[in-house]
Copies of this chain bind each other. A is one copy, B any other.
Amino acid sequence: MLVTKETPTSPTSPGHVLAVLRAEGPLTRLELQERVGLSRVTLVERLDLLRRLGLVRQAGHRESSGGRRAEMLEVNDTGRTALVADLGQSHATLAVVDLRGTVFARDDHRLAVRHSPQEVVPMLLDAGKRLLERTGRADTLCAMALSVPGQIDHERGVTVAPPTMPDWNGTPLRRPFAEVFGVPVLLENDANALTLGDYYAMGRPDATLVGVKVGTGIGTGVVISGRIHRGESGSAGEIGHMRIEGSEQQCSCGRRGCVAASASGQALTRILRSTGVRTIADVVRRVDEGRGDAVRAAAEAGRLVGTVLATMVTIINPRYVRVGGAIGVLPPFLEALRRTVEANAHASALRSLDIEPSQLGENGAFVGLAGLVADEMLSPATVDALAAALPQS
């Protein structure tokens, strides 16, 4: 049966007041009062509570309309800290951020191609501790969030790694980090995290958003009604290993003809190997330099991903598509992708569609993870729990 998931909090609880403030940006007390439907007396009490929790702050004033200026209030999303990590097939990056996604410090690690959790997890724990100390924000740490390639078993807090990373299959991630840092640990797929980054950076639009990430591998994320659609087994949007009609290219997943076998960063590296390319960074550099073979390969990759994305657009009918990842943002790739989608998707789905590159660059996943933490820590339920635990006046 469908279980109602709304928090059992009343629509005038402190948590709900904060939610209104979060959704509708800086507001004056009067505006807030109208939207929440509380009397001034009670609202003052609510705000006092939220202020003591450090969750709201002043944000300038409105123009005077003949008397005292009204003070604007907003959610304090810079006071608390999250430790976030982006784990990839060949890298691991840690960052200390606030709940808005501002990066205070980051720490990049290259990883061997076939790295194992036994080496990487302790390294991350250690690096995380040092990074927190270095920024002096350890005392405001409220959560940790990790993005990983492949699927996640959210129930158990365990990875369900892709075939390309067999050592990582079933690795418990939530537990070790929760134990060391003593805060909740959120896990998210890498493409989902990037998609959420764009979603939050766009001001949490109330429309369906599809995010595409083309880096070493290929993945997508879908945000519907403000939430990532993960599907029944957490593999929704895993388009990287869909078949391309007519292709027999061997894929690193073991099968043949996958999109990722022909259009991922890994595939481009292989395709351009004879021209001296060894890494994805090499691919990006050559495309930026305008080398014909590299540009053509990127465009062909964009066309292939575009074919699959056109189907996705037809099925999901999103308002926005945001394309990220090292390969995804390359202009020849993006242009070919856009043209292919426009040629193949359902006409009606195209009318309201907006395809743009992801705006966040290197920090995209961090913004997404920070937003995820924010949604968790600033949710009405969490805030009401905090408020209830607060000592009286």
For the complex, what is the distance from the CA of A245 to the CA of B19, rounded to whole Å? 48
Indicate if the CB atoms of A4 and B25 lie closer than 8 Å: no
Given contact pairs A1-B205, A230-B317, A233-B351, enumerate 4 new A-B contacts (beta carbons under 8 Å). Answer: A1-B24, A2-B23, A231-B318, A235-B317
Q: CB-CB < 8 A to A246: which residues of B?
A: 245
A41 to chain B, nearest CB (A): 19
Q: Contacts A238-B346, A349-B238 given: A231-B316 contact, CB under 8 Å?
A: yes
Q: What is the total number of copies of this protein in its complex?
A: 2
Q: CB-CB < 8 A to A239: which residues of B?
A: 314-315
Q: Is A236 an interface residue (CB 8 A)?
A: yes
Instruction: Using CB atoms, name the residue of chain B closest to A16.
Output: B4
Indicate if the CB atoms of B242 and A348 lie closer than 8 Å: no
Q: CB-CB < 8 A to A160: which residues of B?
A: 348
Q: Is A229 an interface residue (CB 8 A)?
A: yes
Q: CB-CB < 8 A to A231: which residues of B?
A: 208, 316-318, 349
Q: Is A39 an interface residue (CB 8 A)?
A: no
Q: Contacts A1-B25, A344-B243, A348-B151 given: A233-B11 contact, CB under 8 Å?
A: no
For the complex, what is the distance from the CA of A8 to the CA of B36, rounded to whole Å? 9
A21-58 to B contact mask, C-beta < 8 Å, 1/0: 00111000000000001000000000000000000000
Residues 300-334 of A at the B interface (beta carbon under 8 Å):
308, 311-312, 314-319
Indicate if the CB atoms of A319 and B6 lie closer than 8 Å: no
Indicate if the CB atoms of A349 and B2 lie closer than 8 Å: no
Q: Is A234 an interface residue (CB 8 A)?
A: yes
Q: Is A226 an interface residue (CB 8 A)?
A: yes
A116 to chain B, nearest CB (A): 22
For the complex, what is the distance from the CA of A3 to the CA of B224, rounded to whole Å? 13
A-B contact pairs, 14 of them (CB 8 A): A1-B25, A2-B205, A3-B23, A4-B19, A6-B6, A8-B11, A9-B11, A10-B11, A208-B231, A229-B316, A233-B317, A236-B349, A243-B344, A312-B315
Instruction: Using CB atoms, name the residue of chain B closest to A309.
Output: B315
A80 to chain B, nearest CB (A): 21
A190-231 to B contact mask, C-beta < 8 Å, 1/0: 000000000000011111100000000000101011100111
Q: Is A92 an interface residue (CB 8 A)?
A: no
Q: Contacts A1-B23, A1-B205, A23-B2 given: A315-B236 contact, CB under 8 Å?
A: yes
Residues 160-184 of A at the B interface (beta carbon under 8 Å):
160
Instruction: Using CB atoms, name the residue of chain B closest to A8.
Output: B11
Q: CB-CB < 8 A to A125: which residues of B?
A: none
A222 to chain B, nearest CB (A): 8
Q: CB-CB < 8 A to A317: which residues of B?
A: 230-238
A9 to chain B, nearest CB (A): 7
Q: Contacts A23-B2, A224-B224 given: A315-B208 contact, CB under 8 Å?
A: no
For the complex, what is the distance from the CA of A204 to the CA of B1, rounded to whole Å? 6
For the complex, what is the distance from the CA of A355 to the CA of B233, rounded to whole Å? 16
Q: Is A286 an interface residue (CB 8 A)?
A: no
Contact of A20 among B4, B235, B349 (CB under 8 A): B4
Instruction: Using CB atoms, name the residue of chain B closest to A220.
Output: B315
Contact of A348 among B19, B224, B233, B308 (CB under 8 A): B233
Q: CB-CB < 8 A to A232: which residues of B?
A: 207-208, 317-319, 349, 352-353
Q: Is A137 an interface residue (CB 8 A)?
A: no
Q: Is A241 an interface residue (CB 8 A)?
A: yes
Indicate if the CB atoms of A242 and B314 lie closer than 8 Å: yes
For the complex, what is the distance from the CA of A315 to the CA of B230, rounded to whole Å? 10
Indicate if the CB atoms of A311 and B233 lie closer than 8 Å: no
Instruction: Using CB atoms, name the residue of chain B closest to A354.
Output: B232
A133-161 to B contact mask, C-beta < 8 Å, 1/0: 00000000000000000010000000010
Indicate if the CB atoms of A235 and B4 lie closer than 8 Å: no
